[in-house]
Structure 1
């Protein structure tokens, strides 16, 4: 509700033109605003008490006195309510996980438009039609947080182990990126929310609980109304490229572990400095990529029974 709408509602209340629902809205206004970060509990109680006393006086005073109250007390009553509204909005802005609005970039696409966006850390977002994305001009030193406020988007996230990446979607759903690339479908008007992982791993949660952790070729569908989440396997919906240009084997391994949710162990620490120049795609399996890399360096590898751990050796 805007400040102007708040004023109009309060005026209707004092003129006794508000319907029961609007009267109730005014009376519970102060309780719906989280002021704990800006005022003490005693201050909040005092403001609330003052507002109720004056509002009730305006409602139940005899007709001949009501005009005086409207003229003299309206400004003070409105000030009390608007103070609550203003403080509540300020707290919301302060508690937001993203940076203040002036440091934000907001991108909105048309009904038939798609956009490719490169984030400050080099991550890429492919924004679908009728979508809205907000992100800071500069990410914080210890985290990367953006908001997908509407629509669909495909994310290809730059790997930075010490700076976790989080996407804040509608309905209070957060996606913590533990992997590389994934797709999100989040429309405020729809009861369904979807996340699909192309490579790596992501964790999805709302304010109450963890909804699930997804790996490659898995999707999570969440029913907002029923508060129910389901995970299922899917066919690959997209592919990403891995390009290495004189990259050390240690860095290549880090990227593959991140993308495929596997563990790769070097049998000899001296192998870590070997340089690799090659390009791969997520349509290839981790074993296929390792086979090519080992061939380039005249190395060998073996795998665990569950194909989740690989050992590279001479």
Structure 2
């Protein structure tokens, strides 16, 4: 009777239908090395045959495996806790198989959910917009950028969105549903905070600056996630995509999202990089002639300035060695010069 009862519990467990007491009884039975036979192989084989896809070896499945090990070991006195050698007993191998296959099997038993539609917004040069996501998070999307997000977020699941370009986020706090921004190989993970991401694919740089809360930055290469840094208010991470390295520095809180209010702050920034940013936000095209200005770097802040005023200020900062010409009809600004002082 006990064997039949345990078999029934095992089948119910694979179907996700056991209650807390039944699950406790099953785990205690399987944790006992004396029960390490092949009683349940037929049940497992039957369960595997019902699967039409490969087992799920994702981090979620591995987490499930860890949870099962913890449940098995929790009911045992220290003298009977599972040692590595006992993990190869037949009954334990069965549970490992159940853990790795469980999440896939479980999905096949659940009602099919309606597909989640994805929405996207692309801004043009000189354009910036304010968006509200399904969870009431606010996004300020910068010029020449693209944001993609699901039509709704599932409670308790990750809030995944994708960004190409620049955006400032004010994320609604939800400890059970981490908010993750995917930008190329980079991932930014938060629970609820405000931060700015700069991730234009062609620029070769990725940066995150934090205004409030904590932000985790990771690199995702070939499915392997590597955590780089945890940022707090006033910190900025700059990642160089080509070199594969990064630095973390301090940033004035007021400058994190200054561009929203038409204020642009540059710190020891090359002329080429400055012009690239200004090009997007002022909807102009720069033509930089020659290589004499490549080494020029500037510290500057421009607030509510016209592009002509900005160019004049840069000319003065260069010791008047940089020259420029503005074609207002075609929105082309030609830049040349002898270098910087």
TM exceeding 0.5: no
TM-score by length of 2: 0.39
Using the size of structure 1 for normalisation, the TM-score is 0.43
